[in-house]
Structure 1
Amino acid sequence: MQDYRTLKLLDRFEKVFISFGVDYKIMRRILQVKLTMDGRRVPTIFSQNAKKKDKENNNQYIKSLWIYVLFSLFMIPFVLMGKNYLFQMSLFYGVFTFFVMTSMISDFSSVLLDIRDRNILFPKPVDRKTISTAKMVHVVIYLSFLTIALVSIPLIVGLVKNGFLFSLVSIVNIILIDLMIVGLTALIYFFFLRFFDGEKLKDVINYVQIGLSLMIMVGYQLLVRSFQFIDLAVSLEPQWWQVFIFPMWYGAITEMMMNGAFHPFYLFFSVLGILIPLLSIWIYMKFNHAFEQNLQKLTYHGKAKVNKHSKIGHLFLRVICHSNEERAFFRFASSKMKNERDFKLKVYPSLGFSVVIPFFLMMNGFDTNLSNLSTSKSYLTIYFSLIIIPTIMILLKFSGKYKGAWIYRVAPIQQLKPIFSGTIKAFIFKLYLPVYLLLSAVFIAIFGVRVLPDLIVVFLNACTYAVICFMILKKSIPFSESFDQYNQNSNGALVFGLMLFVALFAGLHFVGTLFSYGVYLYMVIAIICLATLWKLAFNITWEKIIG
């Protein structure tokens, strides 16, 4: 096995590990094996473009760090903005935290929750502390690579512009943020393992990844709105909820050290920024033994779920699906969308974005006065919820269990139409409609019942848009391809082109609002277009799929 440079660097701290009761030689050997195995694991951010030969011969995580270096270039303006360090560095640490936390959960959860150590090493004469320390050092090694890739260039720029003290404070803050992320992530997993089984934890990891994407987007808005721009100067009005925006803790530390602003509010933030990371790591180390014991729950896969169909649901299904085959594939697609974690991980964040984007656009680009807002046409921002449809339509052909696609060939079906129509109906009614109903309820509360016809038109256009995307995109049997192939052929330009249809729908809708009964006329046209396209779209043969 290769003797890695990181291990040679770690050798300089051998006495430190020994002083804590760790068998360093065994820990080093464990890490060497782990690093070798990592060469065969492709990180989430880079998995789509890695070739098989590269996977076998190189550590894909190290090779993927160039993309984080590219992301770091977008952080440089925060360092160069001026001397309001609370504002600019809060943004800087917020962006940094986003990249580290997403990578931590997507790529390092498998390391923290690795139970192979228990199965392979626990029966051997290896100290438990040595095993757990090897696991933590393993995470720290890769987290260090990620951190260096993200902050090296911005900190060099900051050193030139703001001096040595700025860089020193920034490095300390970044270390504290890394400690907090590792500690809190492990404690969250420990909490759920303590009270739930392994299947629940896997679901939790999935929803944490989804929720994190939404929280970062909402947190960014709150962070920016914590500051007021007056005559191009930035001012902060302290609010109680700012305590929970932890990038501001480290912005406050930088503000105090660089500008000498020792206000009580900044002091309180600084105490939180130092205390919380150290406390989270201490708690994790304190309960590490219990954490390792509870990891055994990950081997439990839970009881099989029994699907119950209500009479109302059965009646609804008979109304929207006109044949037994279509109903069967509707149920099949609904089950895949509901239960497959890989699919939910890629799709659910997009659905979440479609909920929050219209409101952010109203806040940023339209009247924020509620009285003016309620009489405006800002409800047309709901069209931005449609932009996620092309991406999800592409994802409908992928699955983690794609090898089971042979079932389509042996199923007693005469044509492919019910497969596609049932799947798209499942997407519309099971994924998009709940999100749209939530948006509609909020929009009706803001704009009144007067927008109800407009909301119906938007939903009809959303259904039409889904059919148009299906007609234009490359045809493939639903859930029949591996996620490893996702984005292998770039779909960015095609998705962007499809988004122009959203602008077309919204533009026509706006024109319709200029006339007395324009919206109702547009509704009739939308129904006719949807019915016509639906009849034409799904006449697909096996030859077209194979071709």
Structure 2
Amino acid sequence: MNKISLLLYKLVMLPAGLYRNAGIDTSQLALILRYKLMMDDRHPNTLQQTRGSGKKEGISNATLGTMLMALVMGMLNLIAFAIGRDAITHMGFFFLAYLFMLASVLISDFTSVLIDVRDNSILLPRPVNDRTILMAKLLHIIVHMSRVTIPMCIPAFVFLFARQGWQPAFSFLLLALLGSVFTIFIINAVYLLVLKITTPARFKSFIAWFQVVFIILLYGGYQLFPRVADMENFQQFSITEYSYAKLFPPYWFAGAQVWLGGQSIARGWLWLLLSLMVSIGSTWLVIRYLAPSFNRKLSLISGSGGGSGSGGGGGGGSETPAPAAGTAGGNFSGSRKGIAGFLAAILTIGTAERSAFLFSWRWTARNRGFRMRVYPTIGYIIVWIALTLFRYNETAEGSGLRGFSGSFSGLLGLIYISSFIIINAMQQAGYAEEYRASWIFYSTPVRRPGLVILGSFKAMLAKFFLPVALLILALGLMWKGPEALPNLVLGMSNQLAVACIILLMSKKSLPASKPAVMDDRSGNFLKGIMMLLVTGSIGILHFLIHEFTGVVILLAMLSMLACWLMIGRIARITWSELTPTV
């Protein structure tokens, strides 16, 4: 347990006498809570999962990583004070951002705490009374909430204290607490709504997809909000001009903050009363109605298949049970209807290669850990493209699309920046929480593991390279016409060549065969730098010769020949070349 968790642990255990008077065994409570907090430190947060689980010593500080992420988001929320011309607008945007960010973080990293079904199987059979178990869960939630809300509130507290004095700063802490309680109510309500309209297995999928979307929105907001705050229209904006804004809780918290801070506002006492009512009322609803219903739903989650851990917990389980061998879902070597079977029949040769293709295709679709590490990269590329169009719209004459297409460097940049999608997917395909199941590859009569590696590689190309290549090809032909085709072919072929080079030069492994803790941080950083340098250098050289069509066609043919030779070399990888998994 790190020092911050230890401090919070001691603070919540101070009223031990009150706990004993309520019939709670404080020694058992302290032991249960202590180990819950220790397990939190070993659970990677959402940002760590998107980069791939790190070494064990890195995960041990996962709580500090969550707090640092919350502190950064709290600093990002200060941009709200640059939007609008009056205090109510500043605080309205701030509380809107605060409640949204807090809810997003809690759904992403708090799900493993709120949806913790391990107590049912570990503690209930033990001689521990229900009150002790319930209090341990409540104190765990309080500590976990504190590790998110405190760092998120520190930047605003310091800003208000330095700019307006102690009264607005401390009134902000009160309203932030009320807003946090209201957020818990919203999360419970959303969870129950999702569980009502879908299955427990789909609920886990919902949480995993929300985590991916949250990371993309966080990155996009970090890039976009500073630009928005500088716009003159937003600086002159005021939410008081829109009467319907008063119907939403962020306005109530903002109005209460302005009134408690000593500034004049109409019906300030009403906004404070509404803030208190919505927070206290939501707490009563959670305890009286939502919590019992939610606990009943938890039993469905714990009893359902489809992956280990909670939706936000492990990040590595599959969402649906693996189909039985011999069924349509489990027959990897045979023909199968659908896009995966169609592509496998076209792109692969031989049973081993086709089986690896289908396995990798389906495993990457079902595994939440893989999605958390790969899919945000796609979002980053989308955000980069959107911001590029935005910048061209500001600097170029005419529309953003005409400005973007007016320079060939924009099209080449789009081609080579998209290569990070396939490279990241290819690298992450070897890591899995359930890596011990990879013994099946060693039990098959395959002479060369290169056939399995090549099948998995082709699956990554079909899923993450082919759609992007077709999209860029269509956009390039629309923007530049048929004369851009040689450069488009060269760019795509270079992407494939770089992916092949990285696969051959890196440590070779079978798909889903390495534990996530082997994902070396320093090695990944150096590989990322080298990948950036190699891809950027090739893109620059391509731009220098893009006007010489004959040279481009010749280089495209050489690049495709190199790809063909390297793909043949991948198929010839021997067992002795594989990296040990343990």
> What's the TM-score bracket when you normalise by the shorter of the two chains?
0.7 to 0.9
**2-side partners of 1:181 and 1:443: how far apart?**
45
Tell me which of 346, 351, 355 is aligned to 2:382.
Answer: 355
> Contact between 2:405 and 2:411, CA under 8 Å: does it hold in 1?
no
Query: Corresponding residue for 1:33?
Result: 32
Structure 1 counterpart SS, 2:235:
strand
Tell me which of 461, 470, 483 is aligned to 1:428.
Answer: 461
Structure 2 counterpart SS, 1:25:
coil
Tell me which of 290, 294, 305 is aligned to 1:301.
Answer: 305
| Aligned positions of 1:90-239 closer than 5 A | 100=102, 103-119=105-121, 134-152=136-154, 155-156=157-158, 158-220=160-222, 223-224=225-226, 227-230=229-232, 234-236=235-237
Query: Corresponding residue for 1:320?
Result: 347
Tell me which of 340, 364, 369 is aligned to 1:337.
Answer: 364
Query: Corresponding residue for 1:463?
Result: 496
Tell me which of 289, 305, 317 is aligned to 2:292.
Answer: 289
> Contact between 1:180 and 1:276, CA under 8 Å: does it hold in 2?
yes
Cα deviation, residue 396, structure 1 = 1.9
**1-side partners of 2:540 and 2:503: how far apart?**
22
Cα deviation, residue 523, structure 1 = 4.2
Cα deviation, residue 287, structure 1 = 1.5
> Contact between 2:453 and 2:509, CA under 8 Å: does it hold in 1?
no
In the alignment, is residue 484 of structure 1 matched against residue 483 of structure 2? no
| Aligned positions of 1:499-514 closer than 5 A | 499-514=532-547
Distance 1:250 1:433, change over 3 A: farther
Unaligned runs of 5+ in 1: none
Cα deviation, residue 70, structure 1 = 7.5
> Contact between 2:405 and 2:479, CA under 8 Å: does it hold in 1?
no
**1-side partners of 2:264 and 2:493: how far apart?**
56
**1-side partners of 2:448 and 2:437: how far apart?**
19
Q: Percent identity?
A: 20
In the alignment, is residue 475 of structure 1 matched against residue 508 of structure 2? yes
- The letter of the residue matching 2:414 is I
| Aligned positions of 1:63-102 closer than 5 A | 67=68, 71=72, 100=102
Distance 1:370 1:237, change over 3 A: farther
**2-side partners of 1:170 and 1:29: how far apart?**
36
Cα deviation, residue 291, structure 1 = 0.7
Cα deviation, residue 338, structure 1 = 1.4
Deviations 1:127-157 (A, max 9, x none): 8787556434321212213333444466346
Cα deviation, residue 166, structure 1 = 4.1
**2-side partners of 1:444 and 1:268: how far apart?**
60
> Contact between 2:252 and 2:271, CA under 8 Å: does it hold in 1?
yes
**RMSD between aligned residues:** 4.8
- The letter of the residue matching 2:367 is E
Give me the TM-score of the superposition, normalised by structure 1: 0.77
Structure 2 counterpart SS, 1:48:
coil
Structure 2 counterpart SS, 1:382:
helix
Distance 1:434 1:267, change over 3 A: farther
Distance 1:262 1:472, change over 3 A: farther
- The letter of the residue matching 2:525 is G
In the alignment, is residue 417 of structure 1 matched against residue 454 of structure 2? no
Structure 1 counterpart SS, 2:385:
helix
Cα deviation, residue 400, structure 1 = 1.4
In the alignment, is residue 403 of structure 1 matched against residue 462 of structure 2? no
> Contact between 1:357 and 1:385, CA under 8 Å: does it hold in 2?
no
Cα deviation, residue 117, structure 1 = 3.2
Distance 1:362 1:91, change over 3 A: farther
Deviations 1:298-347 (A, max 9, x none): 11216654528227754532321123221121112112211222222222
Cα deviation, residue 509, structure 1 = 4.1
Deviations 1:181-236 (A, max 9, x none): 433333222223233332222222211211222233445566556545349x9333
> Contact between 2:54 and 2:517, CA under 8 Å: does it hold in 1?
yes
User: After the TM superposition, which of the residue ranges 509-518 and 88-97 deviates more from structure 2?
Assistant: 88-97
Cα deviation, residue 35, structure 1 = 2.8
Unaligned runs of 5+ in 2: 307-320, 330-334
Cα deviation, residue 125, structure 1 = 9.9
**1-side partners of 2:339 and 2:160: how far apart?**
62
Structure 2 counterpart SS, 1:301:
coil
Cα deviation, residue 427, structure 1 = 0.8
**1-side partners of 2:254 and 2:347: how far apart?**
54
Distance 1:115 1:5, change over 3 A: same
